[in-house]
Structure formats: C-alpha cells, structure tokens
Amino acid sequence: MKIAILGYGTVGKGLVQMIEGNKNKRNIEITSILVRDKNKYKSSKYANIITENIEDVFKEDIDILVELIGGLHPSYEYIKRALESKINVVTANKDMLAEYGDKLVKLAKENNVSLKFEASVGGGIPVLKPLTESLEGNSIDSMYAILNGTTNFILSKMYNEGLSYDEVLKEAQELGFAEANPEADVEGYDAARKLSILSTLAYNGRVYWKDFYLEGISKIDMKDINYAKQMGCKIKLVGQSKKKNEKVSGYVRPVLVDNNNLLSQIDNEYNIVVFNGDSIGELSFVGKGAGKEPTGSAVYADVMDIFNNRIAKIDQFTKEKIEVEKTINNKCQALLRFKSPKKEEIISLINACIDEYDVIDDNDELAVMVYAGSEYEINNILCLIKDKGYCEESRKLLKIS
Ligand SMILES: NC(=O)C1=CN([C@@H]2O[C@H](COP(=O)(O)OP(=O)(O)OC[C@H]3O[C@@H](n4cnc5c(N)ncnc54)[C@H](OP(=O)(O)O)[C@@H]3O)[C@@H](O)[C@H]2O)C=CC1
Ligand SMILES: N[C@@H](CC=O)C(=O)O
C-alpha cells in the first residue's frame, strides 16, 4: 500500500514512527511527505521524499492521502483533489470536518473511496469507530466529555502544581498538544468542533459547532482554582450535548466538577467521552487526547482500516441541520464572582431572588454559590446587578454534579 503524508509535525512524525514500528507486519510505502519548509528536514532520513510541492505528491500513484497539516486551507483543496482523483483520505483535522464534513463525505461517496477521521476527536482514543459501528443499534440521547488535551493539561497543572496559566500553556505547546493557533484550544473552539463531530454522528443530523454555547478557559485564574478547592471541586472544560424532541442542546464551557465525579479523575492531556445509549446505558472512553504517539496511533488505525478494506458508513454529515439550544433549563448551581462589589446590595438582591445561596468569600471581592431553578434565573440576577451598577465585573461558573 502506498501512502502520501501531508504534514510532518507532531502527528505526522507520530504516524511515521508507528509505520516504522510495524513494518514487519504491514507493508506500507511512504511515497512523499509534504511540508512548508523542507530546509528543516535536510538531515531527516526521509529528506529524499520530503517536498514543498503538492504536485510531487499527486504525481505518484497513491492509495491513501493522509492530511496532517491542519487548518482549512490549503488542506481542503488537497483533500478534495484526492477524493476526486479516487484516492482514499485519512485526516486528523477537526476544523475541516466541523466546517466541510458534509461536502467531503458526499465527495468520498460519489467517488467510492473512504474518508476516515478517527484522530479528529479524542486524539488516541478509538471513539468514532465504536460510536458509528459498535453502537449502531443504540439511540444515543446525550453525551458529556472532556475533549481538549491542552486545556485539561493547563487546568490540571494550575490545580495540582499551582503553576500559572501562561507557563503551562507554553509547556503544552512544547509537548505538541496545542493547535498551531492555541486560541482554538483555550477559547473552546477545538472542543466545540469535536463535540459537533460526535453529536452529528450520534444524533444523525448536522450539528454546527458555532451553535453551541461556547466559553473557553482563558479567564480562569488562581482564585477560581482556589474556590474550586475550597468547595471540594476541580475545574474542567466540559462539552455536553443532549437530544430531545428532535432538538439538541449543548455547550462547551469551564465548569466546577465535584471531586467524586468521574470527570474530575481525568487529568493532564487525557480526554473522556461518555455516551448515553438507550440499550447500553452509560459508556465511557478514556485516554490520551493529544500528543505525537497517541494521535499517530489513531491515524495509523484508519490507514489499517482502509488497508483491510473495512469501510464504514458515515453519511450523517450530509443529513439536515439540527437546531441547538444554548442554556440549561433545569436546576443548576453556579459560583458567581463580583469585582469591586457593593456587597450588601448584591447579597440583598440575591436573597430576594433565590432561596439558597452561600457566601464563599467577601474579602477583596464577593463570591457566592447560588442554587437556582435554571440558568435563566441566574442570568437575570446578573443582569439586574449589572444594570444597577452594583459591581464593575461579574463572572459565572456553573457546577455540574
Ligand atoms: N497535536 C495533536 O496532539 C493533535 C493534532 N490533531 C490535528 O492533526 C493535524 C496536525 O497537527 P500537528 O501535527 O499538531 O501540527 P504541526 O503544526 O505540528 O505540524 C503541521 C505540519 O504541516 C506542515 N504544514 C503546515 N502548513 C502547510 C502548508 N500550507 N503546506 C504544506 N505543509 C504545511 C508543517 O510544515 P513545516 O514542518 O515545514 O512547518 C508541519 O510539518 C491538525 O489538524 C491538528 O488539529 C489531532 C489530534 C491531536
Ligand atoms: N489541540 C488539541 C489536539 C488534539 O486534538 C488538544 O489539545 O486536544
């Protein structure tokens, strides 16, 4: 089997390492490797097949094009060209699937070739294959997940080692966990794209990532971490989606998670995906969600599926768009923080609107844990406080149990 690899960064190198490690079992020939700057690879043992010119890739006779460049362009054009030339494609690119999944799946079908993307969600965790194959008979009605290794790594190191946000982000970049532009990680876009891929496959209709309520971790500070500790919780960037009456609701946001909740056990670059199926009940997948070897392993598995002619049906991307609701319409708890607060006024307003609340801190800022009937109720209180000018700034961190 002949493959061409576009991109020789973290994941590209992980894939090549796995191909080398298995060469006694599988005969895979790498015909070319596309990079942006081939001068970086002069001393590589693959220097003779490393190129900056996409035409060098397509002039070879290849069975699979593996796209590991990332981003939308020129990756989209390269994948499209491969599919139209009846070449199978494997990609780890969640940005691409979240944006152009429908077009590419259609194109693969029309040309009778495979488009596989296991590594696009959960890094090394085999999760798309179990979802689309092993769970085919189940109706999945909800899922919750930690889907971004970089942010989980940052939050874990801030919590466990007291390190600063900036220094851990730098470490995550050095370890190859972060996206080329880490804004995608820390603002929650990457996790939302993954949640949209999972939701599309699970709910059999197109779910768009921008339709979820979306909030990243860039504003989480040491005070949040310390409040979490004080309350026996951790902070995790969680994605959740539910399907009810043909509608989906969902979010990606940092939340407080009790120390006895399964999610709080998932630290560093690990990810978890928990599905709720009508027959299987709750089913969890846990493993490394980012990094060279784990992601290389997932890409290799897709290559092997094509090698062994295991073709899965994934036409969910071409189905109709499903509407997404953003807020939580049932009982919830949230930590509210107020900067430069008029403390008495805020507490008296909260007292008038809500039956149960605890003041966590009233030193240099005011922090209150509220127990409300819905997220709307909490948002209303925050609006009132803002309108009355009772504080300079307020923050809300939901707690999930
Ligand atoms: N890192 C991870 O843990 C995971 C990453 N992914 C996804 O895998 C994909 C690759 O990520 P990763 O390996 O981390 O990325 P890197 O930034 O480490 O590597 C990207 C590679 O693509 C090459 N490249 C970039 N732009 C171009 C271009 N325009 N033309 C030709 N080559 C180009 C770079 O060339 P050069 O070497 O010359 O700079 C580099 O070799 C992304 O879609 C990412 O989201 C998915 C799961 C986990
Ligand atoms: N940047 C991503 C890489 C894997 O998808 C992450 O941190 O999870």
Please report whether residue 304 resides in a domain: no
- Judged against a pLDDT cut of 80, whether residue 327 lies above it is answered with no
pLDDT value for 326: 82
Same domain, 215 and 272: yes
- Judged against a pLDDT cut of 90, whether residue 25 lies above it is answered with yes
The residue segments making up the domain with residue 75 are 2-120
pLDDT value for 68: 98
Q: Match 């560093």 to its residue by tokens.
A: 268
Same domain, 106 and 137: no
Same domain, 12 and 68: yes
Instruction: Name the residue with higher pLDDT: 245 or 80.
Output: 80
Same domain, 172 and 278: yes
CB of 179 sitting under 6 A from ligand 2 = yes
CATH number of the domain within which 237 lies: 3.30.360.10
Nearest residue (CA) to ligand 1, atom 28:
36
Quick one: what percent of the chain has pLDDT higher than 90? Answer: 96
Please report whether residue 266 resides in a domain: yes
Ligand 1, CB cutoff 6 Å, lining residues: 7-12, 34-37, 40, 68-70, 74, 92-94, 119, 123, 176-177, 179-180, 290-291, 295
pLDDT value for 85: 98
Among 84-88, 116-120, 176-180, 325-329, the least confident range: 325-329
Pick the atom of ligand 2 nearest to 191's CA: 8
pLDDT value for 202: 98
ipTM above 0.95, yes or no: yes
Same domain, 133 and 116: no
- Judged against a pLDDT cut of 90, whether residue 396 lies above it is answered with yes
pLDDT value for 200: 98
Indicate the residue among 120, 146, 170 that finishes a domain. 120
Indicate the residue among 66, 98, 120 that finishes a domain. 120
- Expressed in angstroms and rounded, the spacing between residue 264 Cα and the centre of ligand 1 is 30
78-86, Cβ contacts within 8 angstroms, sequence gap of 24 or more: 78/6, 78/54, 79/104, 79/115, 80/104, 80/107, 82/58, 83/107, 83/108, 83/111, 83/113, 83/115, 84/111, 85/58, 86/111, 86/112, 86/113
- Expressed in angstroms and rounded, the spacing between residue 149 Cα and the centre of ligand 2 is 5
CATH number of the domain within which 386 lies: 3.30.70.1150
Structurally, how many domains does the chain consist of?
3
CA 245 to chain CA centroid, Å, is: 25
Q: Match 């990079």 to its residue by tokens.
A: 35
CA separation (Å) from 401 to 135, 195, 260, 332, 351? 26, 20, 9, 9, 24
Please report whether residue 310 resides in a domain: no
Same domain, 141 and 277: yes
Please report whether residue 139 resides in a domain: yes
Q: Determine the average pLDDT of the residues in 185-211.
A: 97
What are the φ and ψ backbone dihedral angles of 90, each rounded to 5 degrees? -120, 135
Residue 221's pLDDT band (cuts 50, 70, 90): very high
CATH number of the domain within which 42 lies: 3.40.50.720
Same domain, 246 and 163: yes
Pocket test for ligand 2, best of 185, 269, 288 (most atoms within 8 A of CB): 185
Cα 261 to Cα 226: distance, rounded to the nearest angstrom: 18
Same domain, 151 and 255: yes
Same domain, 63 and 133: no
CB of 176 sitting under 6 A from ligand 2 = no
Residue 337's pLDDT band (cuts 50, 70, 90): very high
The residues carrying an active-site annotation are: 194
Same domain, 159 and 116: no
Contacts of 222 (CB under 8 A, 6+ apart): 158, 162, 164
- Judged against a pLDDT cut of 90, whether residue 169 lies above it is answered with yes
Length of the chain in terms of residues written: 401
Indicate the residue among 270, 299, 325 that finishes a domain. 325
pLDDT value for 398: 96
pLDDT value for 35: 98
Please report whether residue 8 resides in a domain: yes
- Expressed in angstroms and rounded, the spacing between residue 7 Cα and the centre of ligand 1 is 5
Same domain, 134 and 251: yes
How does pLDDT run across 83-124, given as a tens digit for each residue?
999 999 999 999 999 999 999 999 999 999 999 999 999 999
Please report whether residue 186 resides in a domain: yes
Pick the atom of ligand 1 nearest to 292's CA: 3
Please report whether residue 392 resides in a domain: yes
Pick the atom of ligand 2 nearest to 177's CA: 7
- Judged against a pLDDT cut of 80, whether residue 329 lies above it is answered with no
Give the tokens for residue 124. Answer: 């090394």
How does pLDDT run across 354-394, given as a tens digit for each residue?
999 999 999 989 999 999 999 999 999 999 999 999 999 99
Quick one: what percent of the chain has pLDDT higher than 70? Answer: 100
Nearest residue (CA) to ligand 2, atom 3:
290
CB of 289 sitting under 6 A from ligand 2 = yes
Tell me the HSE value of 244 on the side-chain side, using a 13 A CA sphere. Answer: 7
Please report whether residue 352 resides in a domain: yes
Give the tokens for residue 249. Answer: 């609701």
Q: Which helix (H) or strand (E) holds 175?
A: none
Taking the CA of 296 as reference, the closest ligand is 1
Same domain, 272 and 140: yes
What are the φ and ψ backbone dihedral angles of 2, each rounded to 5 degrees? -110, 130
The amino acid at residue 223 is K
Cα 300 to Cα 13: distance, rounded to the nearest angstrom: 11
Q: Match 């891929």 to its residue by tokens.
A: 197
CA separation (Å) from 392 to 216, 223, 380? 21, 17, 17
Write the DSSP assignment of 278-305 as a string of letters: TTTEEEEEEEE-SSHHHHHHHHHHHHHH
Pick the atom of ligand 1 nearest to 190's CA: 45
- Expressed in angstroms and rounded, the spacing between residue 16 Cα and the centre of ligand 2 is 19
